[in-house]
Structure 1
Amino acid sequence: MKTFKFPARHGYAVEISPFIPTRLACATSQYYGIAGCGTLLVLEQTETGIALVKSFDWNDGLFDVTWSESNEHILLTGGGDGSLQVWDTANPQPGPLQVLKEHTQEVYSVDWSQTREENLVVSGSWDRTAKVWDLSRGGQSLCTLQGHEGVIYSTLWSPHIPGCFASASGDGTLRVWDVKTGRCRLAIPAHKAEILSCDWCKYDQNVIVTGAVDCSLCVWDLRNVRQPLSRLRGHSYAIRRVKFSPFNQTVLASCSYDFTVRLWDYSRTEQPLLETLEHHSEFVCGLDFNLQIPNQVVDCSWDETVKIYTPLCLAAPPPSAR
C-alpha cells in the first residue's frame, strides 16, 4: 500500500486520470470543509510511493474533482462557494483557467461525460439543482434541472447513454435525467434516508448502485425498480461513495464514515461482502478504481491521506464455485 500525506487538508474526492494510469487528483478542504480554503492535489504514483506533481489553491473548500475526457491536462473541481473551477496542469499560472458560478450553494459533485458524442460536464449542488455545462461555449450552463426536494450529493453521467445522467439526493431518491428534453426520466425512492452517492455499472446500462445514510447499498435495475436487485449491509455509518469495478461486472467498492472501505460482489446471495479494509483513522470520502491497472483502488480520507492499493480479494483468483 502506498500513502501520501497532506497536512492540514482533509480529503473529499479522488480520481485517477483516464489518460495516465499513474496520475491522480485529490480534492481537499481545510478544517473538514466547514471553513477555510481548499486545495487540488495532482499526484503521481511511483515505484516507491506517491509524489506531488502540482497543487492548486482555492478560496473555499473543494468537494469533488473530475478529469477531462478529452485533454489529459484539464481538471474540474466543485467548491463550497457554489462555483466550478477549471484547472490546467500544464499552465504555469497558479489560478484556474475558468470559474463557473451559477449555483447558489455548495457544489458537491462534478462529472465529465464519457460518451464520444459529447463533451459535457454535470454539477450537483446543495441548492437542489443539477446543471449541465459545455466548457467550450463559455461560462453559462446549457440547462438547469430541478426536481429534487433535498440537496444533491452526487451527479454522474451514464457511461453508455449520451445525454443521460443520474443524481442522488438528500430527499432519498435516485433520479435519471435526459438532458435533451431537460426532464427527469425516472425517480426511484431508493432509500428511506439521504443518498450520498451513486454509480453506474460499466457493463450494463440499466444497473446503478446507491449508497446512503442508512448504511446500506442498493443495486437497481432501471427496468424494474419496485425492489433492488441486491441490498448490501455491513457498514456501521453512512456510506460516502460507491464505485463499480471496471473489470468485473458485479464487483463494487464503498467507503464510509465508519473509516472503512469495503469490497462487494452483489451477485452473491450469501456473503456478498468480499473484504473490509480498515486503514484510515477518519471518514473515508473519496474512492476510485484505476481504469488501466486491473483491481487497483485509490481512496482519500479526512485523516489527511491518500492511499493506493490492490485489495486482497481482487488480487486472488476468483473461486471456481460460489
Structure 2
Amino acid sequence: MKMESQPNQLQIRFVTKQDRYSVPDNPFAVPSSIVVKELNALLRSLIDESPGQRIAAEFDFIAGGELVVRPLGDHLARLGVSAESVVDVEYLERRPPPEALDCLIHDDWVSSVDVCRRAIVTGCYDNTAHLWTTTGEHKCSVSGHSGPIKAVVWAGEKFVTGSHDETCMVWEWDTEENTVRCTDICRGHTQSVECLSVSPDGGRFASGGWDKFLKIWPLDDDGESGRKKARGSSATKAPRVTLKGHKECVTGVCWIDDVQIATCSMDHTIRIWDAEMNSSVREIGSAKSFLGVDFSPSSGLLATGAADRLVRLYDPRSGEGQVVKVTLSSHTAWVPSVKWSAGRDTLLVSGSYDRSVKMWDLRSPTVPLYEMEGHEEKVLCTDWSLPDLIVSGSADNTLRVFRV
C-alpha cells in the first residue's frame, strides 16, 4: 500500500549496490528530522526481517549525490532536492575508521614520503632518506645530499630524491644485499627542489622548486643527457626540458598522463603543461598560494591543498563554467599535502599544519569521514599509494602509519 507523506515527513526508498544487504524497494514515510543513527536502525530492522539475515553492520547513506551527515530533511533542503516525491536513499556498508599501526621515528622533520609494495621511502631534514618495510622495519639510511631532502618518489625499481642542495638523485636499492647506490645526479635547478613526480610510462620524472622552474629528466640510461664518470659510478644528468611560467616557487607537480603535467605554485596558480610541445597550455588562478597537487586517473580530478586551509578539486578538462568541482573545508591551517586513494576514486587524504590528517569522501564535502590523530607538530606530507595504508610525515620527526 502506498504510504501518504504527512507534514514534516518524507517518503524514501532504500536502494543499494551491495546485493547481500538488499531490502524491498517499497517507499517508507519517515520524519524529516531522521538522522543517520535512526536510518541505520530502520534499515537493519528491514534486513533482519529477511530469512537468515542478522547483521551488526553500520551503514552510510547517500541522497542527492552526497553522504547524509545531518537530519535528512535539512540535507535535502541544502541540496535543493524536492521532497514532494519519493527520495532514493542509497546505503552502503560503513568503512571502519583507520587503525594506527606504527610510529616510525626519525632524527629530524619528515618532509616527504612515497609508498610502494616494496617499501616506504621517506625524506628527512637531516639530509638523509630512509627505507622501511610496510610493516615498519627500518632497512637502511641513504646519504648523499648536502641539504634537507624535500621530495621523494618511487620510479619502478629505483627511487628519486630532491633536495635543498638543488639536486635530484636517482638511487638503486639492492634488496638482497640491502645496499643503495646513486646512479644519477641531476643538476639544473638553481634553488631548492620542492617536488617530484614520475611519468606513467616510467621513463621520465618531473621536478619543481624555488627557482620557479619545472624540469623534466630522463630515467633511462640512453646517455643523451648524462655522462658516466667511470663504470659503476654515478652519472651527472642535465634536464631534457626546462619550462618557465610560474612567478613563485613550484610547490607541487603530478603527471596527468604521459604528455600532460600539472604544477601548482605559491604564485596562486595551477598550470597544465604539454610535455611534447614544451609549453604551458592552461592556467587556473586562485586567491591564495597552492601548496600541493595530486591527480586521480579514475575521477579525472586534480586535488589541491592551499594556504587558505581548503582542499579543492579541479577538473582540468573543463572548458567553460565552474572549474572547481568540490571544496573540502575542515582544516584550520595550511594544507601542504593531498593524495588520492589508490583504487577508490571518491576518497582522498589531506595533511595540514594544524597537525591533523583527514580522510575525505567527495560525497561529503562539508565533513571529513575520519580524522587521524597522533602528530604533535605540523603535518608535512601524506601518501595513500597502497589501498590499505595511509602514511603521514610531520615536523614531530615521525612517520605515522594507518591501516585502512
TM-score bracket relative to the smaller structure:
0.7 to 0.9
Shift of 1:226: 3.5
Match of 2:115 among 16, 20, 24: 16
Match of 1:245 among 331, 341, 351: 341
Unmatched segments (≥5 aa) in structure 2: 1-100, 227-236
1:68 paired to 2:155: yes
Q: Secondary structure at the match of 2:128?
A: strand
Q: How does 1:259-278 map to 2 (within 5 A)?
A: 259-268=355-364, 271-278=366-373
For residues 68 and 187 of structure 1, what CA distance do their matches in structure 2 show?
28
Contact 2:295 2:302 in 1 (8 A): yes
Q: Give the TM-score of the pair, scaled to structure 2.
A: 0.68
* Structure-2 residue corresponding to 1:302: 395
| Larger gyration radius, structure 1 or structure 2 | 2
Q: How does 1:50-199 map to 2 (within 5 A)?
A: 50-57=136-143, 58-69=145-156, 72=157, 74-90=158-174, 96-115=182-201, 119-135=203-219, 136=221, 137=223, 138=226, 139-158=237-256, 161-189=257-285, 191-199=286-294
Match of 2:306 among 198, 207, 212: 212
Contact 1:202 1:246 in 2 (8 A): no
Q: State the percentage of identical aligned residues.
A: 25
List per-residue Cα deviations over 1:19-38 (Å, max 9, x = no partner).
Answer: 42xx10000013xxxxxxx1
For residues 307 and 240 of structure 2, what CA distance do their matches in structure 1 show?
32
Shift of 1:202: 3.1
Contact 1:266 1:272 in 2 (8 A): no
Shift of 1:273: 1.4
Q: Secondary structure at the match of 1:89?
A: strand
1:3 paired to 2:103: yes
Alignment length (residue pairs): 285
For residues 41 and 15 of structure 1, what CA distance do their matches in structure 2 show?
11
* Structure-1 residue corresponding to 2:133: 44
Contact 1:25 1:43 in 2 (8 A): yes
Shift of 1:94: 6.4
Match of 1:233 among 329, 338, 345: 329
Greater alpha carbon shift after TM alignment, 100-109 vs 260-269: 260-269
For residues 180 and 327 of structure 2, what CA distance do their matches in structure 1 show?
45
Contact 2:291 2:305 in 1 (8 A): yes
Q: Secondary structure at the match of 1:45?
A: coil
Runs of 4 or more, structure 1, over 4 Å off, are 91-95
Relative to 1, partners in 2 of residues 1:94 and 1:244: Cα closer, same or farther, differing over 3 Å? closer
Contact 1:251 1:266 in 2 (8 A): yes
